[in-house]
C-alpha cells in the first residue's frame, strides 16, 4: 500500500522536482518506508512506499525493459503470480519480484485494456513516454482512492487531495455541489470533491490524458442479471459461496510481512477468521477495540471469536477521553469531510494494530453484498406501513413524535423518527433519508443564502437516479443493494477505512470485495439475501456451524461511538465554539439561526440531533485544517 502523485504538461515544458517532492511528502503517512521520483520533459511521477512485497527491490517508479514506460502504483494485485508467468512466457523480463512490475508489461501487451486483467485493490498511473500518454486507473469497487485535476493547461493526480493542493495552480475553492452532497450523504460521491478544481476517478474507471485531451471511461460494471443456477439447492449454493470465499481469502494472503485480522465480533470479520482456518492458516493475530459504554461495546463477541479460533488476540477498551483526545488528529487526515463517526475507533484500532503488523484482513463489504443493514428491513416494513389507513398512519406518527429522546446506540426513538421522516419520499430517496443526514427540506433552511443560490438547480438525489439510469433491476431491493455498493460502500465505508488505516501506514485488505466474489454474489436473487425480514439469509446459512452460534445469529451492530451523549458533555465545548453564531456568520456557509436551534434542541434533549451536529462539526474541523473559499 502506498501513495502516488504526479503531474503533466502537454507542451513538454520542464517540471519542477521540488514541487513533486512537496506533493509526495504530503503522502508520507501512506508510505513511510521509502520515496521515489521520475521526471522528464512534461511529466513528473512521485511515490511513497509501504513495503509489503519484494522488500529489497520493489522501489517505485518501476519501468519496462527500455525505460519508456513508467508506473506508480498503490494497492495489491492478487493474481500477479499468474500474470507474471504469462508475461514471462511471452518474453518479458522482470527486474523485481513485486506485483507492480506486472503493470508495465501488461500495458505493453494490452495497452489501455491492461486493467481488465487485474484482480486486486489498486490505483495507479502509467506514463507511456513514446506516446506521451498518461493512463490512470482505479479498482472496480473503489477500495483505493484516486483524485485528479485538469485546467486545460496542466493535468495532475494524487491519492489524496492534500497532495494536489501543493500545486500552485490549484485553488482551494469550495465546490457547492460537493458540500450539498456531503450534507445529504455524510460523504461526497465520485466524481465530486469538496474542491472545485479536483475530481475523483470513479471506481471501475480509467482516465487517459494525452496531447492535452482528457477522457474518463468505464472499464467494468456490476452485472445485474440473475445468474443463479436453478439446479443448485440452497445447501449446494451455500457450499459454492463458502468455497469461493475461502479461495478469495487465500489469494489475499500474499505478503512478505506478517498479517493480522481486524476482528469486530460481527459475522463478517469472524467469517474471515473461519476462512483462514479452513485454508490451514494456524498462526493468526486478531485486533479489536471495545468501549466502556455497554450499549456500544462488542467485547463479548470478539473475545468469543478469538477464543473459538484460538488466535493471538490483542485488544484495547476505550474510555471516552481516548477518542475525544484524537479528534484533532482524525480531522487532520480528512482532506475531504467524512461524517462517519466510526472513523475515530477505526483510527485508534489502526494505530494499535500497526504496532504489531503491517497488513490486515477486514470484513467490510459483507453487508452491502448480502443485505445486512437494518435499513433493508425498514424498506420492507415501509411497504406494510403504506398499506395502513391514513388515520392509523397519523396515529403512529403522533406516537413516534412523542417518544422520549434516548441517546443510546440506535435507540427506538432514533430509529422510529428516522423511519417516519423518510416515508413521504419515493422508495430509493427514502432509503437515503434513513442513511444520510440532512434531507432536502432541512438542507434548504441550513445553507446560507449565497450558497443556496448557487445550488438552486441541484438535487442531491439526482446522484441516485443517475446511477440507476439505463439499468434494469428485478426488484426495488436490487436498486438499494446496487446503490449501497456504488455510494455508501465506495465513498463512505472504504474512504473511512483507507484514511484511518493509511494514516498509520497499515494496509487493510477486504476479501469480500474481490471483484470475482462480488460478481458471484451479485448474480444471486435478492430473495436469498433478504428473506422475509432475515438479513444476510444465504450467507448466514453458508457459515452456519463454521463460526460460533451466538455470533452467527446476532443482529447487525455498527462500529459506533456514543456521540449523542458526548455532544452534551465531553464535546460540548468544542461544538459550541465551532458552531458559534460569530463563526458561522463570518464563514458564510450555514444559516446561524438553524444551527443554533439544532444545538439547543440537542442540549435540552428535545431532539437527538447527533447526526446533524456531527456532520457540521466535521465540516468545521475540515475547514479549519484545510480551508477553502466559499
Stated pTM of the model: 0.94
pLDDT tops 60 at residue 457: yes
pLDDT of residue 407: 72
Are 168 and 183 spatial neighbours (Cβ–Cβ below 8 Å)?
no
Helix %, strand %, coil % for the chain, to 5?
A: 45, 15, 40
Q: What is the mean pLDDT of the chain?
A: 91
Point out the least confidently predicted range of 59-63, 209-213, 329-333, 411-415: 411-415
Span 569-584, average pLDDT: 94
Kindly state the DSSP code that residue 126 receives in the 8-state scheme.
E
Span 572-594, average pLDDT: 95
pLDDT tops 70 at residue 51: no
pLDDT tops 90 at residue 49: no
pLDDT of residue 556: 67
User: Which residues are 77's β-sheet partners?
Assistant: 120
Q: 319: pLDDT confidence band, cut at 50, 70 and 90?
A: confident
pLDDT of residue 557: 63
How far does the chain reach from its first CA to its final CA, in angstroms?
34
Which CATH architecture describes the domain 234-371+478-552?
Answer: 3-Layer(aba) Sandwich (3.40)
Sheet holding 285-291, edge to edge: 312-318, 285-291, 259-262, 359-361, 507-509
How does pLDDT run across 110-161, given as a tens digit for each residue?
999 999 999 999 999 999 999 999 999 999 999 999 999 999 899 999 999 9
DSSP three-state, residue 138: strand
Residues 503, 499: Cα–Cα separation, whole Å: 6
pLDDT of residue 134: 98
Span 201-208, average pLDDT: 98
Sequence length of the chain is 630
How does pLDDT run across 378-392, given as a tens digit for each residue?
999 999 999 999 999
Q: 294: pLDDT confidence band, cut at 50, 70 and 90?
A: confident
Q: 292: pLDDT confidence band, cut at 50, 70 and 90?
A: confident
Q: 559: pLDDT confidence band, cut at 50, 70 and 90?
A: low
CATH 3.40.50.620 residue ranges of the chain are 234-371+478-552
Q: 33: pLDDT confidence band, cut at 50, 70 and 90?
A: confident
CATH 3.60.20.10 residue ranges of the chain are 2-218
Q: 629: pLDDT confidence band, cut at 50, 70 and 90?
A: low
Sheet holding 69-77, edge to edge: 62-63, 69-77, 120-128, 133-138, 205-210, 213-218
pLDDT tops 80 at residue 413: no
Are 540 and 366 spatial neighbours (Cβ–Cβ below 8 Å)?
no
Which CATH architecture describes the domain 2-218?
Answer: 4-Layer Sandwich (3.60)
How does pLDDT run across 458-512, given as a tens digit for each residue?
888 999 999 999 888 888 899 999 999 999 999 999 999 999 999 998 999 999 9
Span 390-411, average pLDDT: 81
Q: 228: pLDDT confidence band, cut at 50, 70 and 90?
A: confident
Q: 229: pLDDT confidence band, cut at 50, 70 and 90?
A: low
pLDDT of residue 57: 62
Span 170-190, average pLDDT: 95
pLDDT of residue 34: 81
pLDDT tops 80 at residue 412: no
pLDDT of residue 376: 92
Are 69 and 126 spatial neighbours (Cβ–Cβ below 8 Å)?
yes
Amino acid at each position: 500500500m502506498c501513495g502516488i502523485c504526479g503531474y503533466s504538461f502537454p507542451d513538454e515544458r520542464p517540471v519542477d522536482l521540488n514541487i513533486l517532492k512537496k506533493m509526495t511528502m504530503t503522502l508520507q503517512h501512506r508510505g513511510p518506508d521509502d520515496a521515489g521520483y521520475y521526471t522528464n520533459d512534461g511529466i513528473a511521477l512521485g511515490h511513497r512506499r509501504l513495503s509489503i512485497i519484494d522488500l529489497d527491490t520493489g522501489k517505485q517508479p518501476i519501468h519496462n525493459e527500455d525505460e519508456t514506460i513508467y508506473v506508480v502504483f498503490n494497492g495489491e494485485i492478487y493474481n500477479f503470480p499468474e500474470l507474471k508467468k504469462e508475461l514471462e512466457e511471452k518474453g518479458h523480463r522482470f527486474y523485481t519480484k513485486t506485483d507492480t512490475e506486472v503493470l508495465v508489461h501488461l500495458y505493453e501487451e494490452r495497452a489501455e485494456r491492461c486493467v481488465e486483467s487485474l484482480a486486486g485493490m489498486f490505483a495507479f498511473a502509467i506514463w507511456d513516454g513514446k506516446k506521451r500518454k498518461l493512463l490512470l486507473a482505479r479498482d472496480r469497487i473503489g477500495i483505493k482512492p484516486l483524485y485528479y485535476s485538469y485546467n486545460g493547461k496542466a493535468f495532475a493526480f494524487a491519492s489524496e487531495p492534500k497532495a494536489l493542493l501543493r500545486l500552485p495552480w490549484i485553488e482551494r475553492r469550495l465546490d457547492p455541489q460537493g458540500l450539498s452532497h456531503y450534507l445529504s450523504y455524510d460523504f461526497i460521491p465520485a466524481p465530486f470533491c469538496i474542491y472545485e478544481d479536483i475530481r475523483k476517478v470513479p471506481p471501475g474507471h480509467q482516465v487517459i490524458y494525452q496531447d492535452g485531451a482528457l477522457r474518463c471511461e468505464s472499464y467494468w460494471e456490476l452485472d445485474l442479471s440473475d445468474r443463479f443456477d436453478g439446479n443448485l439447492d440452497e445447501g449446494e449454493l451455500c457450499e459454492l459461496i463458502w468455497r469461493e470465499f475461502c479461495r478469495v481469502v487465500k489469494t489475499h494472503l500474499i505478503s512478505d510481512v506478517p498479517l493480522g485480522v481486524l476482528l469486530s465480533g460481527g459475522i463478517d470479520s469472524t467469517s474471515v477468521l473461519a476462512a483462514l482456518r479452513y485454508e490451514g492458516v494456524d498462526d493468526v493475530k486478531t485486533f479489536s477495540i471495545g468501549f466502556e459504554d455497554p450499549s456500544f461495546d462488542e467485547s463479548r463477541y470478539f473475545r468469543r471469536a478469538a477464543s473459538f479460533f484460538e488466535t493471538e488476540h490483542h485488544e484495547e477498551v476505550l474510555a471516552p477521553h481516548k477518542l475525544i483526545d484524537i479528534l484533532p488528529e482524525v480531522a487532520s487526515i480528512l482532506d475531504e469531510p467524512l461524517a462517519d463517526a466510526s472513523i475515530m475507533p477505526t483510527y485508534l484500532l489502526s494505530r494499535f494494530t500497526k504496532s504489531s503488523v503491517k497488513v490486515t484482513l477486514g470484513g467490510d463489504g459483507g453487508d452491502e453484498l448480502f443485505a445486512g443493514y437494518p435499513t433493508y428491513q425498514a424498506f420492507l416494513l415501509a411497504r406494510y406501513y403504506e398499506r395502513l389507513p391514513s388515520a392509523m398512519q397519523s396515529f403512529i406518527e403522533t406516537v413516534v413524535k412523542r417518544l422520549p429522546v434516548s441517546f443510546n446506540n440506535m435507540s427506538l426513538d432514533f430509529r422510529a423518527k428516522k423511519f417516519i421522516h423518510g416515508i413521504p419520499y419515493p422508495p430509493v430517496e427514502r432509503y437515503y433519508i434513513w442513511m444520510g443526514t440532512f434531507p432536502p427540506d432541512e438542507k434548504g433552511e441550513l445553507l446560507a443564502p449565497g450558497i443556496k443560490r448557487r445550488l438552486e438547480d441541484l438535487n442531491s438525489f439526482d446522484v441516485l437516479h443517475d446511477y440507476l439510469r439505463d439499468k434494469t433491476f428485478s426488484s426495488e431491493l436490487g436498486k438499494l443493494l446496487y446503490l449501497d455498493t456504488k455510494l455508501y460502500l465506495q465513498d463512505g465505508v472504504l474512504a473511512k477505512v483507507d484514511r484511518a488505516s493509511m494514516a498509520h501506514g497499515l494496509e487493510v485488505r477486504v476479501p469480500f470485495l474481490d471483484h470475482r466474489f462480488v460478481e458471484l454474489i451479485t448474480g444471486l436473487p435478492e430473495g436469498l439475501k433478504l428473506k422475509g425480514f432475515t438479513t444476510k439469509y444465504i450467507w448466514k446459512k453458508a457459515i452456519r456451524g463454521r463460526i460460533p452460534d451466538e455470533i452467527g445469529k446476532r443482529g447487525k451492530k455498527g462500529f459506533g461511538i456514543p456521540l449523542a451523549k458526548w455532544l452534551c458533555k465531553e464535546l460540548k465545548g468544542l461544538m459550541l465554539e465551532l458552531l458559534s453564531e460569530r463563526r458561522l456568520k463570518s464563514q458564510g456557509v450555514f444559516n446561524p439561526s438553524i444551527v443554533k436551534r439544532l444545538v439547543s434542541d440537542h442540549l435540552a434533549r428535545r431532539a437527538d440531533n447527533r447526526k446533524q451536529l456531527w456532520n457540521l462539526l466535521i465540516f468545521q474541523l475540515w475547514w479549519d485544517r484545510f480551508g477553502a473559499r466559499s
